[in-house]
Chain A
Amino acid sequence: MAKRTAPRDLLNSELMVLNFGLDIFRQALESQKVKCVQVDLTLAPELEKKLADALDRLL
């Protein structure tokens, strides 16, 4: 797994964002050209569970 940003360096680092919830914030980040992954925890399809299980086995 890639090394994470030391917290003290956050203020001057390129942001890599996980957006949990409102899609409008993903859109705002997209318009600012920020790397972002959208996460919706209100839905948990079977496929996602299978992927998570597979990742568990791999990591």
Chain B
Amino acid sequence: MPVVNVVKRNLFRDSIQLMRLSEDVKKLDGVDDAVVSMGTDTNRRLLQDLGLLGSESRAAGDGDLIIAVRVRGGSNVGEVMGRVEQMVMAPPVSSGGTRVRVLHSVKSALAAMQGANLAIVSLPGNQAFEPTMELLRNDVNVHLFSDHVPVEQELKLKQYASSKGLLVMGPGAGTSLINGVGLGFANAVRKGDIGIVASAGTGIQEVSIMLDRIGLGVSAALGVGGTDVSEQVGGLMMKDCLGLLEKDRETRTIMIVAKTPRAKVIREVMDHVEGRTSKPVIACFLGLDPPNTTNERVTYVKTLHSAVHAAARESGAEAEDEFDAKISSTFDQLSKAAKDLRAEMGTGRRFVRGLYSGGTLAHETLLIFKELVGEAYSNTPLSERFQLADPNVSRGNSIVDLGDESFTAGRAHPMIDPTLRKLRIAQEAKDKSVALILLDIVLGYGSSSDPGGALVGAIEGAAKASGKTGLAVLAHVCGTESDPQSLKAQSEKLSEADALLFPSNALLSAEAALVVGGAAVSTRLKKKWSDLLG
């Protein structure tokens, strides 16, 4: 079957549009396989692996668009490629099938929607500053999804917004929930009285879905972006958001989630909080020892799992019972499951390979491994010594964040496009020292329509490739029944593929540590149970 490549020089389409286009093109009559992508190194390597790289595309650059199609024998190649090009150039269509009106300037957008109170900005980071500033000048709050906005620009935007009482959530803010509406990658969770401020996008998703499962809800969840808690920005927006939640009548309890924050910034944030708030505060600073406090309203926790448990305790007996029934586990249960898994595995299988789409979840697993087993290798390690030399090749215990920019240049995020994770599962399954593959399956708005189903073939393939005494797959579905993908439907698909499911990422991580760590880990987990899973 002929492989045809067409390169469109200097034509940009965002990675999500391209992934969807690829799926649509594959469905065309006469098409056996297809990928439409930007010409980055990662994408050209992927085309090579799939047997779709033509000579025309070898010299394509990051700004060029590649259309690669394997045309079925007997089909009219020119006709097929003509239809494909038409699809690539077509404007977006709404779910109702009508053409979406697309505007091309801040001014025309403001004129088209008078009273607009929020903008989502997901432009390339080097193009985000001017439009964001113009929006702020016009009193529009901004959820700034874009990465790579220079920190000096972030500071200017946040200082200006703060002076006007506006919010700039981001840059790099993956998730927010406002008045029940999910922005970015967010889950469909019930409304309630817990307000969240976070510099960790999947952190918001993980705590909000667990709160939903135990009958609690979110008044608002405000993502401020990872660099907000850097020394340059000083937690400026985190403090403003906390002030907003303090005044918010719907918010009864405040939860703060931060990934790798600077200790000095957190001290300032907590001084700010402790001096002003009359509401209970639950603070989870992943990777940072909690500051000393005598304030009885503040509870410090080490994991996202423990943050939700603390919220359940704060809420009352009913929520605590629900937590025990739907999230919690006991040491004996984990221990027995680990023993059962070990019994089915060959003795040479001793390492864990975490293949994550959520950066905060990967980080939480790295922290739990450090506490129980010892530090794991990663492309986003806790310390430099454990940096993977090549993010595409694991060693020892490895926890890989596939959503990191080393994997996503010119590609859709793994929450949307499962391709890289499927290939990586197959790659890990060939390694006879691998005992467990860990997966997070993140549901919600913005995510793939079937993230679990998309991995089923790869999971079954891994089990088959590794044989009777082979590896096992542990998975955590970060989602709710109200999510478009349905927690139940996704869980069933994964269970049918023999993946062992856990209600929280922390429990999954502790289980993995028990399986590969032996008696010493068992003793450590007993000792640290209330810190990590209490």
Contact = CB atoms under 8 A, between A and B. Distances in A.
Interface of A: 1-8, 10-32, 34-35, 37-45, 48, 51-52, 55-56, 59
B120 A4 contact: no
Given A11-B250, A15-B178, A30-B95, 12 more contacts: A4-B138, A18-B120, A20-B109, A20-B122, A22-B14, A24-B16, A25-B184, A28-B445, A39-B108, A41-B106, A42-B12, A48-B104
A39 B118 CA distance: 13
A38 B361 CA distance: 31
A20 B123 contact: yes
Nearest to B94: A30
Given A3-B115, A4-B140, A13-B179, A21 B121 contact: yes
A12 B179 contact: yes
A28 to B, nearest CB: 4
Contacts of B107: 52, 55-56
Contact of A39 (B103, B114, B141, B184): B103
A41 B250 contact: no
19 contacts: A4-B115, A4-B138, A7-B139, A11-B179, A16-B115, A18-B116, A20-B123, A21-B123, A22-B145, A23-B17, A25-B446, A26-B100, A31-B445, A32-B445, A37-B112, A38-B92, A52-B108, A55-B107, A55-B111
A7 B16 contact: no
B263 interface: no
A19 B179 contact: no
Interface of B: 12, 14, 16-17, 92, 94-95, 100-123, 127, 131, 135, 138-141, 145-146, 164-167, 178-179, 181-184, 186, 219-220, 244, 247-250, 416, 445-446, 484
Q: Which 8 A-B pairs have the closest CB atoms?
A: A21-B122, A28-B445, A5-B117, A2-B114, A48-B104, A18-B119, A22-B122, A2-B115
A11 B193 CA distance: 12
Contact of A15 (B101, B166, B179): B179
Nearest to A40: B102
Given A1-B114, A31-B484, A55-B111, A41 B123 contact: yes
A45 B101 CA distance: 14
Contacts of A44: 104-105
A41 B105 contact: yes
Nearest to A37: B113
A28 B449 CA distance: 11
B244 A11 contact: yes
Residue from the set B107, B112, B115, B165 with the largest chain A CB neighbour count within 10 Å: B115
Contacts of A2: 114-115
Contacts of B104: 39-41, 43-45, 48
A28 B182 contact: yes
Residue from the set A2, A3, A14, A27 with the largest chain B CB neighbour count within 10 Å: A27
A23 B16 contact: yes
Contacts of A19: 119-120, 122
B468 to A, nearest CB: 42
Nearest to B107: A52
Nearest to B91: A40
Contacts of A23: 14, 16-17, 92, 100
Nearest to B105: A52
A15 B176 CA distance: 13
A27 B293 CA distance: 44
A16 B117 contact: yes
A39 B114 CA distance: 15
A49 to B, nearest CB: 8
B214 to A, nearest CB: 23
Contacts of B92: 23, 26, 38
